[in-house]
Amino acid sequence: MHIFRTFPEAVQRVIASKPKEKEQVVICKPVARKPVQYVRTLWHRLPSDSGHLAFNEGERLRLILEVDDQHLLCCRGDHKGLVPRDAVLPDDF
């Protein structure tokens, strides 16, 4: 009779003797999407700086991001750019 067991047999016995952990069930909830927001332009503006968006008076732009207290990142069709906050009003349409 051997006193020492082979390594794999000993490991298997230790693993089998450990209590099994409870399974954790993770439920994924759908992420709430932020509603699309729009702004309405108050006047006509040509792009004076790179990165700024050109727009006409009364145009409806989609708001992407509030950059800082002076600018918004908006898009008009495929074009994105910065828009001064004082040049637009929220559009509830």
The per-residue pLDDT for 86 is 94
SS3 72: strand
Are the beta carbons of 82 and 53 closer than 8 angstroms?
Answer: yes
β-bridge mates for residue 62, sequence order: 38, 75
Query: Which superfamily, per CATH, for 27-91?
Result: SH3 Domains (2.30.30.40)
Q: Say whether pTM exceeds 0.85.
A: no
Distance (Å, rounded) from C-alpha 91 to C-alpha 34?
16
Which pLDDT score, from 0 to 100, does residue 59 have? Answer: 95
pLDDT for the residue numbered 69: 92
pLDDT in tens, 28-48: 566 667 788 999 999 998 877
pLDDT in tens, 53-74: 999 999 999 999 999 999 999 9
